[in-house]
Amino acid sequence: MTTLSVNINKIATLRNSRGGNIPNVLQAALDIERFGADGITVHPRPDERHIRYNDVRELKQNLHVELNIEGNCREQKFVELVLETKPAQVTLVPDALNQITSNHGWNTIEHKAYLTEMVNLFKEAGIRVSIFVDPDEEMVKHAKDTGTDRVELYTESYAKNFGKDKEKAVKAYIKAAETAQNIGLGLNAGHDLDLENLCYFNQCIPFLDEVSIGHALISDALYYGLENTVQMYKRQLNKQ
Ligand SMILES: CC(=O)[C@@H](O)[C@H](O)COP(=O)(O)O
Ligand SMILES: NCC(=O)COP(=O)(O)O
């Protein structure tokens, strides 16, 4: 069964807009856990514009479900935070400084030596590692050489093209996913997944381990409430 890790960056964005502690990010994460999510994802960025480094520390101390920390391992502060908090999973994302959001996966050929070093560092600390990649069989194959446990397929292009032609939109993802499965890599996916496009993606790739979803899920919660929304996403993942 594919697990749902809820990305709570957008809850922190709302909190930070007023400088106080409303909404309370930790409480929201604990509630999301209680409502049935399998994990919590955070993506701290160097400017701490949404999740702050201290949020991550608090979350790790209080959550019972898996914590997935995504981010740029070229940032020393990020590496130190991950090694200090020891989440269940770290997802390595090649962000540029001041990027609005993630917009590409790693080139696992060009950066293989560097990624191998980072994967070793985190795995030695007992942390599962996932590498964020575009839906490209070559990138998946070369990710395997780094020793990573999983890859996360960057689903922005799937989400963007889903409305035009969903079969075409998912094609490269199925190929990349099958490659990962054949070489023994675990498989995550995320970015712009939503209530419309999630079920089809999961049905096309039934061996998916985890999806991480934030922007659409937190937006849907404005209409449906957080509890309902988490359960609506879970139901999409449970449809055969
Ligand atoms: C890695 C990824 O796909 C991103 O979606 C990310 O985790 C979200 O980051 P922001 O919330 O900063 O857009
Ligand atoms: N890894 C993707 C993620 O955590 C959430 O992405 P999005 O749903 O906010 O686009």
Flag whether pLDDT at 155 surpasses 80: yes
Q: Is 55 in the pocket of ligand 2 (CB under 6 A)?
A: no
pTM for the whole structure:
0.97
Instruction: Compute, in angstroms, the gap from residue 67 CA to the centroid of ligand 2.
Output: 14
- Domain positions in the chain are 3-238
179-200 burial by CB neighbour count: b if 16+ within 10 A, else e? bbeeeebbbbbbbbbbbebbbb
Known binding residue 105? Answer is no
- pLDDT at residue 213, as a whole number: 98
Question: What does the alpha-carbon distance between residue 151 and residue 144 come to, in Å, rounded to a whole number?
Answer: 9
The residue that leads in pLDDT, 97 or 133, is 133
Average pLDDT, the chain: 97
Do the interacting molecules here have an ipTM over 0.90? Answer: yes
- pLDDT at residue 95, as a whole number: 86
Mean pLDDT of 94-102: 85
Instruction: Compute, in angstroms, the gap from residue 10 CA to the centroid of ligand 1.
Output: 10
**What kind of fold does domain 3-238 have according to CATH?**
TIM Barrel (3.20.20)
Flag whether pLDDT at 240 surpasses 80: no
Known catalytic membership, residue 191:
yes
Query: pLDDT by residue (tens digit) across 194-215?
Result: 999 999 999 999 999 999 999 9
- Say if residues 36 and 64 touch (Cβ distance below 8 Å): no
pLDDT confidence bin for 181, thresholds 50/70/90: very high
Helix axes 25-34, 9-16, angle to 10 degrees: 150
Residues in the chain: 240
- pLDDT at residue 183, as a whole number: 98
Q: Identify which ligand lies nearest to the alpha carbon of 192.
A: 2
Percent of the chain with pLDDT over 70: 100
Q: Which of 96, 39, 111 is nearest to 69 (CA)?
A: 39
Catalytic residue among 142, 152, 191, 210: 191
Q: Which ligand 2 atom minimizes the distance to the CA of 217?
A: 8
Percent of the chain with pLDDT over 90: 95
Catalytic residue among 33, 66, 70, 156: 70
Structure tokens at 148: 């990573």
Flag whether pLDDT at 98 surpasses 90: no
Flag whether pLDDT at 61 surpasses 90: yes
- pLDDT at residue 96, as a whole number: 82
pLDDT confidence bin for 97, thresholds 50/70/90: confident
Question: What does the alpha-carbon distance between residue 24 and residue 31 come to, in Å, rounded to a whole number?
Answer: 11
- Say if residues 53 and 77 touch (Cβ distance below 8 Å): yes
- pLDDT at residue 100, as a whole number: 85
Q: Which residues pair with 152 in a beta bridge?
A: 132, 188
Instruction: Compute, in angstroms, the gap from residue 101 CA to the centroid of ligand 2.
Output: 9
Question: What does the alpha-carbon distance between residue 134 and residue 156 come to, in Å, rounded to a whole number?
Answer: 9
Q: Which ligand 1 atom minimizes the distance to the CA of 132?
A: 1
Mean pLDDT of 11-25: 97
